[in-house]
Structure 1
Amino acid sequence: MRAIIAVLLLLTATACSQAPAKQPTPRLGYQGIACPADVLAEIVGVEPSCGYLTVPESRATRDGATVRLFVIRFGPPGTASPDPMVVVGETLGQRKNYGELAPFAPRTHRSVIFLDQRGIGLSEPSLACPEVRAIAPELAGLRMAEAKGPLLEGVRACRTRLERRGIDLTAYSLRESAADVADLLEALGLEQVNLTSFGTASLLALEVMRRYPEHIRSVVLDSPALPNLRVDPDNRLREVLARAGQLCADAPGCRALTKDLPRSFDEALARLRDEPVTVTARSASGRDVKVVVDDVALTRLVTSALGYGGNLQTVAELVTGPPDWASAAAGLASDEGMCVGFMPECAGGLTHGLYYSLTCPHAAGPHAEACTVWPAGEAPSGEPVASDIPTLITIGGLNTFSGSAQDVAAATSSLTRARLLEIPFGNYGAYREDCPRPIRNAWIDDPAAPLRNTGCVKEVGPRVR
């Protein structure tokens, strides 16, 4: 695997040794384009419009370097209500499936505008790190202490290649990304919008609220990460395991899973810490990968299965066992490089470089190690955002990737017009459930009104096979 990195660097160095022809500075602003064929292939039943927003790479240096940000827009059937929905992303560093946005327009009867973050998706340049992807199968076969060296080697190689291209990695920050959103609203002539984010991209939405509140009519934060809320992942996982057992005691669909899950989890950790299991697992691409399942790997699998997948039967099998490790470890065999269990979503579109640039100021786990060789931009403020913009916050009670509803309520107390909706059996991405969608849609129509028809949240049951 390390030979692959060396070849990638050699090819890049050869290409960079040839001085490129001087290109004219692109014109700043928005320009419509025909939607790319691969984008249209993800979308069914609607005709989107597409374009690129060209902005300065760094508004601090103004050295003439620019980036192009991909924009896709969907309209609802019939006449759209005023004040479109502007979506600023999902999991930081994770490419969005554009087709998943299409139903959002008819549900809210508003136009939906999605802006790819700088460095990701179809935006240019890309901060993808094939060097890290190349070593991911090697990392799966190592214990965490052994994986540090290869991971840092891949991250360092990615940094070297991108900087040789003249990319200023410190310019890929939450502050610059928030300014990108403001520039988009200005370029499209939008006086008032409803801002929406999912998961860790709420950090970007909150930065927009902090710096550019004048055009924001309302904000929807689903499963948010918050700048002033630090979640201890181990403590949070045990909280959620205990909560799952308590909820299952009253739910016919999972009463058999009401054992003491935290205690069973600790016993499984002790066994695997002393005697790791080595298996061959099949990756999503059909490749056989050696995977070492130790206490850290089990923690990653349980965190992912509970926090994002939400299948309590899978969680119970992992914790109380003995599981079919060859099947259970498939997620680690398909990992893109320290994603599973550390990031909420690992669906095949992770842009490592952007993730590091956005999160290095407050990274944890192995990504804190990666950040020792990655240049971070200006750290965003750790102070809570103070705002009277109407804000709807939706939390899944079993989401291992954010704090509890009580923690989130305390961390957002400076949002004076915020409303909090908890889905007890919900996970990361509460709107994957049908119940909260009409609640959200009605609230967007009248953000000053109380939440209506919330009784269905008690009917959202557990996910079990």
Structure 2
Amino acid sequence: MKIGTCVRALLCIWALLTISVPLTVQAQPAQGKVPRFEPVECPGVLRDRTDFTCGFLIVPEDHALPEGKTIRLMVATAHSLSPEPEPDPVVLLSGGPGSGAVGSTGDSLYERTIRERRNLIFLDQRGTGHSQPSLDCPELDNLSLLILSQPQVPAADLIHPLLKACRDRLVSAGIKLEAYTSAQNAADVESLRQALGYPQINLWGGSYGTRLALTVMRDFPAGVRSAVLDSVYPPHVEMYRDAPGNADHTFSVLFDRCAADLLCNLFYPKLRTAFLDVYAQLDKQPVKLDLTIPSANQQIDYYLTADGFAAGVFQFLYDPHAIRYLPSLIYGLRDGDLKQVTAAVNATTQISNALSFGMFFSVMCSEEAPFSTLDEMSAVAQNYPSAMQMHGSIFSAEMWALCQVWFPAGITPDPRENEVVQSDVPALILAGEHDPVTPPVWGKQTADNLSNSYYLEFPGLGHGVVGVGASCPILIAVEFVNHPERRPSSACIGEMRGVAFVVTAAATRPYAVVLSLALGGIAGGAVILTARAAWTRRRGFAWKVSRRLVTWLPTVTAAIIMGLLLVTKTEPSDKLRIAELIIPAALAVQVALAVAPTEDRTLEVIATCPRPVWWLPLERAALPAAAGTVLALGASLIAIMIVGQMPVRTFLLHLLRWIPPTLMFSGIALYVSIRTRQIALGALGTFLIWGTAAIAGKFLLPGYPTFFPLNYLQPLLWVFHPYLQPGELTSTDYLLNRVVVASVGVVLIIWIIRRMRNTEWLIFGNVSRPFQANSHQGVG
């Protein structure tokens, strides 16, 4: 629906920040035959598209008065990709009510799939988009800012005068508001079919578009070949009265899915209890959030209330990508961590949409509100906890009362707008299990009354299953349009998985602390013991020989690149990022070249010296490590030269960006080089591992979209991300990550060095057990 595409950031998310403001155009006196189609140049982004044609559909403002005033509806046809398209196009019916359709480029996955065989027609319904007259309400442009900046004032009280001003302006322009209904809209669709000369059309509706499609099927069934109904809003339901029950159901689905998910239940147990606890906390004491309103370039202090919290969770359930964050968001609020919820609200307030609020209220106040009473809504709400009653939302009693502003003299509803639609037109009904506003049960009820229909429900999806990019519902829907006489294959639904809930770094921080202490302790202890042993027999190191054998080309190359960075005009942040990548790679490759048993001609001689054999890789690796430290310090000094004065904390931060990954990749390099025993394999293997980490390391970040089964491992892997950026997580999490990354490198170095205590293994590789046993007995 988007009966709520609207935005009221975590409070009453229904007003949208940016609303197009075309001049009000009055309905025109009838001139010529209607309906008729008048070609015009395509608007906006479609103007230069050669695969689109556009025009105005001229229809009566009131189809009951065909000789009366006319209105102009914008139509854009995206031509089929096939040279011989099918004779029955797909007509796209958008939601809202009040959303326009013209402006889409027809290039999304589902649109291009439709266009493989058919033309796709976008219709700006009456009062919306580019159609004339527009029932847009520019008076409501700054409503979100108004509501957010005055949380102590009921939203309905703020909306009332603005809505009245919009209504008065439209009426004074001669617009007949009661003519902007689903029945009139359906007559427009039939007029479109006639004007364009199609024997039949296929309807594709989403949200409110499904109600419109059902109305067309009811009133003009002969012209409809098939109908795809995505997230059904049927006429017979009671939107206002059923709101608490819908909220309770959709919240329960969220809580149940989290409980059934291994990681979600482990890190966010008893989510329902946590949700109710947060609601109770906010009911007693709202929390202050520092919000930024981009459209107004303004920062405000917003107090998040209990009802605002519930409305926000409800709104997030529209989008399957947002659903993933809800458990962590709820727990973050419970534990007093406001960073995530503040970011979520700021992101929400940046949404904009050209919703025609005049069309919205004309439809809702003539077809929905008259069939509910305040007493009925109050009686139903009492059956649910306060957190589920949706106070202040667009489905609340306060918003219902705004219909008295839109139609102050009242309106006589058409009883058919509250009755079940029955039809034998082939119909495919799609539903998302998390849909908060058009719950799956509405789709099932609709299917029961359509004799030639198929109902399918998709796991992990919310409101509008086709538009979220999932291929399965798109393929099913297009197959149905191609062959409405048979049930489409739905095997792909079995391959879909539920929501992959995001487990944040904050939830896994105890694990990170334990891991950093364990690895850090092992690495630190090993370094101390090794340093002590090396110092006591420091004359046993072959420093001069090692220095001559170490290949310095990678380090010299890195130093040259860093010097070039200093004099180039690249952005400072890009320079630092390049240096962060180059230093660890260069030193790791140098370490890989330092010890390769098969290709080291001095190995046998040095290994027979009266000293521990494991000193060999230690002294070879120590020189690149020292060079790495010098290079990192040099890079930090260059950073100071690039950005000017730098606080001590920032200087240390730069060292943390370079030294830990240098240690990690050096440890990997030493391990790979000695295990493969070949210089080329050691360097190549190290370089491949480094490249993979540099390119794909982002997949280790909590919440980054990933795939099964990596999504179950992702929450535990961020501590190993070598190129984690300081701003991607909190400073505490970043420090834990640096400790683990550095410790992994040190532990790998110590591990491979311990494997080299056997001289025969070092020189000959994997020798047999009998030979190993005899080798310790001596000769003679």
Classify the TM-score, shorter chain: 0.7 to 0.9
The amino acid across from 1:421 in the alignment is L
**Of 267, 291, 306, which residue of structure 2 is paired with 1:281?**
291
Comparing 141-150 with 164-173, greater Cα deviation is found at 141-150
1:371-415 Cα distance to aligned partner (Å, 9 max, x none): 1100268445211111111100000001111123x4431343110
The answer to which structure has the higher strand fraction is 1
Comparing 182-191 with 285-294, greater Cα deviation is found at 285-294
Q: How far is 1:312 from its partner?
A: 3.1
The amino acid across from 2:62 in the alignment is S
Q: How far is 1:24 from its partner?
A: 6.5
Larger Rg: 2
Work out whether 1:367 is the aligned partner of 2:378: no
Q: Partner residue of 1:445?
A: 482
The amino acid across from 1:107 in the alignment is T
1:11-55 Cα distance to aligned partner (Å, 9 max, x none): xxxx99xxx9998644431111111234447x7xx6211010011
Residues 21 and 117 of structure 1: CA distance in aligned 2, closer, same or farther (over 3 Å): closer
- Quick one: distance in 2 between partners of 1:460 and 1:393? 20
Q: Partner residue of 2:55?
A: 51
Percent identity over paired residues: 27
The amino acid across from 2:305 in the alignment is D
SS in 1 for 2:418: coil
**Of 445, 450, 459, which residue of structure 2 is paired with 1:410?**
445
- Quick one: distance in 2 between partners of 1:372 and 1:237? 25
- Quick one: distance in 1 between partners of 2:293 and 2:139? 18
**Of 237, 245, 250, which residue of structure 2 is paired with 1:235?**
245
1:70-97 Cα distance to aligned partner (Å, 9 max, x none): 0010122122123111112133212336
1:341-366 Cα distance to aligned partner (Å, 9 max, x none): xxxxx642121111000111314324
Q: Partner residue of 1:341?
A: none
Q: Partner residue of 2:457?
A: 422
Contact 2:258–2:271 under 8 Å retained in 1: no
Residues 438 and 314 of structure 1: CA distance in aligned 2, closer, same or farther (over 3 Å): same
Structure 2: 5+ residue stretches without partners: 1-22, 370-394, 503-702, 704-780
SS in 2 for 1:218: strand
SS in 1 for 2:57: strand
- Quick one: distance in 2 between partners of 1:407 and 1:221? 11
The amino acid across from 1:278 in the alignment is K
**Of 159, 163, 171, which residue of structure 1 is paired with 2:171?**
163
Q: Partner residue of 2:81?
A: 77
- Quick one: distance in 1 between partners of 2:27 and 2:281? 61
Work out whether 1:35 is the aligned partner of 2:42: yes
- Quick one: distance in 1 between partners of 2:102 and 2:280? 39
SS in 2 for 1:304: helix
The amino acid across from 1:233 in the alignment is A
The answer to which structure has the higher helix fraction is 2
Structure 1: 5+ residue stretches without partners: 1-14, 335-345
Q: Partner residue of 2:323?
A: 312
- Quick one: distance in 1 between partners of 2:102 and 2:486? 32
User: Counterparts of 1:8-23 in structure 2 under 5 Å?
Assistant: none
- Quick one: distance in 2 between partners of 1:407 and 1:23? 39
Residues 62 and 443 of structure 1: CA distance in aligned 2, closer, same or farther (over 3 Å): closer
Residues 386 and 24 of structure 1: CA distance in aligned 2, closer, same or farther (over 3 Å): closer
TM-score when normalising by structure 2: 0.52
Q: Partner residue of 1:216?
A: 224
Q: How far is 1:260 from its partner?
A: 2.6
- Quick one: distance in 2 between partners of 1:237 and 1:24? 46
- Quick one: distance in 2 between partners of 1:24 and 1:168? 13
Contact 2:59–2:71 under 8 Å retained in 1: yes
- Quick one: distance in 2 between partners of 1:56 and 1:293? 47
User: Counterparts of 1:237-316 in structure 2 under 5 Å?
Assistant: 237-251=247-261, 254-256=264-266, 259-285=269-295, 286-316=297-327
Contact 2:73–2:123 under 8 Å retained in 1: yes
**Of 349, 355, 358, which residue of structure 1 is paired with 2:360?**
355
1:188-228 Cα distance to aligned partner (Å, 9 max, x none): 11111111101122111111111000111110000111112
Q: Partner residue of 2:113?
A: 107
Comparing 221-230 with 190-199, greater Cα deviation is found at 221-230
- Quick one: distance in 2 between partners of 1:84 and 1:133? 36
Residues 127 and 317 of structure 1: CA distance in aligned 2, closer, same or farther (over 3 Å): same
- Quick one: distance in 1 between partners of 2:303 and 2:477? 43
User: Counterparts of 1:200-215 in structure 2 under 5 Å?
Assistant: 200-215=208-223
Q: Partner residue of 1:10?
A: none
Residues 288 and 221 of structure 1: CA distance in aligned 2, closer, same or farther (over 3 Å): same
SS in 1 for 2:142: helix
- Quick one: distance in 1 between partners of 2:26 and 2:457? 55
- Quick one: distance in 2 between partners of 1:144 and 1:417? 51
Q: Partner residue of 2:739?
A: none
**Of 369, 388, 401, which residue of structure 1 is paired with 2:437?**
401
SS in 2 for 1:437: helix
- Quick one: distance in 2 between partners of 1:185 and 1:140? 44
Contact 2:27–2:71 under 8 Å retained in 1: no
Residues 189 and 124 of structure 1: CA distance in aligned 2, closer, same or farther (over 3 Å): same
Comparing 312-321 with 350-359, greater Cα deviation is found at 312-321
Residues 105 and 313 of structure 1: CA distance in aligned 2, closer, same or farther (over 3 Å): closer
- Quick one: distance in 2 between partners of 1:318 and 1:377? 44
Residues 436 and 147 of structure 1: CA distance in aligned 2, closer, same or farther (over 3 Å): closer
Residues 359 and 410 of structure 1: CA distance in aligned 2, closer, same or farther (over 3 Å): same
Q: Partner residue of 1:383?
A: 419
The amino acid across from 1:243 in the alignment is V
Contact 1:257–1:316 under 8 Å retained in 2: no
- Highest RCO, 1 vs 2 (Cα 8 Å, sep ≥ 6): 1
- Quick one: distance in 2 between partners of 1:98 and 1:110? 19
